Amino acid sequence: MAAPTNATGTAGALNTFTAAELAQKLDSGEVSSVEVTQAHLDRIAAVDGGVHAFLHLNDKALETAASVDAKRKAGEKLGLLAGVPIAIKDVLCTLGMPSTAGSRILEGWVPPYDATVVARLRAANLVLLGKTNMDEFAMGSSTEFSAYGATHNPWDLDRIPGGSGGGSAAAVAAFEAPIALGSDTGGSIRQPAAVTGSVGVKPTYGGVSRYGAIALASSLDQVGPVSRTVLDAALVHDIIGGHDPRDSTSLTDTWPSFADAARAGALQENLKGLRIGVVKELDAPGFQAGVSQRFHETLAILEGAGAEIVEVSAPNFDYAVAAYYLILPAEASSNLAKFDSVRFGLRVNPVGGGTVEDVMSATREAGFGPEVKRRIILGTYALSAGYYDAYYGSAQKVRTLIQRDFAAAFAQADVLVSPAAPTTAFRLGEKVEDPLAMYLNDVTTIPANLAGIPGMSLPMGLAPEDGLPTGIQIMAPARADDRLYKLGATLERLLVDKWGHTLLSQAPALT
Ligand code: GLN
């Protein structure tokens, strides 16, 4: 195979197409799933040494692709994305494939079942390429807290790809996979999308099943799509979304087709009648200048297309990061108690033997990394009898106030927008020793998780000072995910009209 000639790989190679384009080529018989899958495996072989998006490759990928080709040949009616490859964040359980959540404590663990979202992808005949790298148990904003080494941003290998789902975002941005799954507890789909120039969606809480997603903070976690276009994200969301009786928080709603919403958005002539709220507290003076500049240019484009831009205030957002970093560790400390050396993964026997408690403590000491330990300690402290009301109780009250801020804002606007991340991709190593600086990178994304509302990150151009991607976040009321796809697709079209190309086609070459 010829060496990749540009950012995307060999011009015109099968790894350069979107999932929707590949689906069309597969459907018309122009290409086979084996060819499409092989093209992505070749791309992974060529560039993943430098990017390190994948922790594990599915050795059955080509076999699955061949079986999908055979079904198509036999005239079987197949789903829209049948035969299209997809990468899966390692936080999701995959039958027969290791699922580590980026932790040593689960090294080599192979789940006996599929997460519901994975089962739905398989049932729709997608081809699982493999498992992507992530911060350990999804704690982090840079993927540097993975126990298996950092992932690198395809735009600049010395920079972080965001986190915790840096692997999924980098795989998509490096054209190693057309689409991927991520999980978003405080921004882990949207912030990596912002800093890699890809599209990422956190659905409404309860809109996508969490069954088989290794839990970080159960009241915040949500699985969602990562892609290079809004339509591709919608196509994935349509497959993975909808009620799941195995998840007690799963909504029983009937959802509209998000792909239809995206298609309608792409064709939408103007935005007349749409009220777009700019959240004052998320348009902060401390944000990187180029991020703010691109954000305001994008607002002008939206206004030029007929939208009404209104300023809204959400005063309690100032306390969102603080509340989140009490609620999340509290829930995480409880969720991670099951890693006790008895039921899953690693077991470390202390030298000279010891009690059951000694074995548990030696295992957790060796199996968890520093950020996970930090949060377990914070969480158990916040939940302890003497401090529960002062910390956890107060944080829950703030959560309610943030939900009220959103309710007030959505009375004035149909959707809300903000930068998806306050900065472009920072350098590897820059914040890893400074947890607070790392936490503050989530300031724009956390409020949506605390309120359970959906959010999308969409590329809005390169920051002039460093030439790196920036993202705009669109938020909608709970259950109105279709608004994200509709407006997202319109904005995507307006931006491509302006630039004359997609953002990712401008990424520097990887080899
Ligand atoms: N960066 C955030 C954190 O460290 C978000 C994590 C996530 O969404 N999984 O908690």
- 188 catalytic, yes or no? yes
User: DSSP character for 506?
Assistant: G
Token pair recorded at residue 286: 């401390």
Structural tokens at position 489: 């697709």
pLDDT digits (tens, 9 = 90+) for 140-158: 999 999 999 999 999 999 9
Catalytic residue among 89, 131, 202, 431: 89
Structure tokens at 66: 């061949």
- H or E segment and range at residue 62: helix 61-73
Which position has the token pair 């307006």?
494
Write the single-letter amino acid at 122.
R
- The alpha carbon of 353 and the centre of ligand 1 are apart by a number of angstroms equal to 37
| pLDDT value at residue 4 | 43
Q: Ligand 1: distance of its center to the CA of 36 in Å? A: 33
The token duo for 139 is: 């704690």
For residue 13, the model assigns a pLDDT of 92
pLDDT of residue 290: 98
Rounded-to-integer distance, Cα 121 and Cα 64, Å: 12
Helix (H) or strand (E) holding 127: strand 127-132
Given this model, what pLDDT does residue 10 score? 74
Q: CB count, 10 Å around CB of 460?
A: 27
Among 137, 188, 326, 457, say which to mutate for ligand 1: greatest number of ligand atoms within 8 Å of CB. Answer: 188
- Ligand 1 centre to CA of 82 (Å) is 31
Q: In what order do the strands lie in the sheet with 415-419?
A: 54-57, 127-132, 85-89, 179-183, 223-227, 199-202, 455-462, 469-475, 415-419, 275-279, 308-312
pLDDT score of 3 = 46
The one-digit pLDDT tens for each residue of the chain (511 residues) are: 344 446 777 778 999 999 999 999 999 999 999 999 999 999 999 999 999 999 999 999 999 999 999 999 999 999 999 999 999 999 999 999 999 999 999 999 999 999 999 999 999 999 999 999 999 999 999 999 999 999 999 999 999 999 999 999 999 999 999 999 999 999 999 999 999 999 999 999 999 999 999 999 999 999 999 999 999 999 999 999 999 999 999 999 999 999 999 999 999 999 999 999 999 999 988 999 999 999 999 999 999 999 999 999 999 999 999 999 999 999 999 999 999 998 888 999 999 989 999 999 999 999 999 999 999 999 999 999 899 999 999 999 999 999 999 999 999 999 999 999 999 999 999 999 998 999 999 999 999 999 999 999 999 999 999 999 999 999 999 999 999 999 999 999 999 999 999 898 888 888 6
User: Using a 6 Å CB cutoff, which residues line ligand 1?
Assistant: 138-141, 163-164, 184-188, 216, 328, 442
Distance CA(103)–CA(364), nearest Å, equals 11
Atom of ligand 1 nearest to the CA of 328: 10
Which run of H or of E encompasses 88? strand 85-89
Q: How many whole angstroms from 396 Cα to the centroid of ligand 1? A: 18
What pLDDT, on the 0 to 100 scale, is given for residue 506?
Answer: 85
Looking from the CA of residue 138, the nearest atom of ligand 1 is 9
Closest ligand 1 atom to 441 CA: 1
Which atom of ligand 1 is nearest to 165's Cα?
A: 9
Q: How far is the CA of 492 from the centre of ligand 1 (A)?
A: 26
Contacts of 354 (CB under 8 A, 6+ apart): 362
pLDDT of 6 reads 60
Catalytic residue of the set 188, 209, 227, 250: 188
Domains and CATH numbers, the chain: 14-269+457-506 (3.90.1300.10)
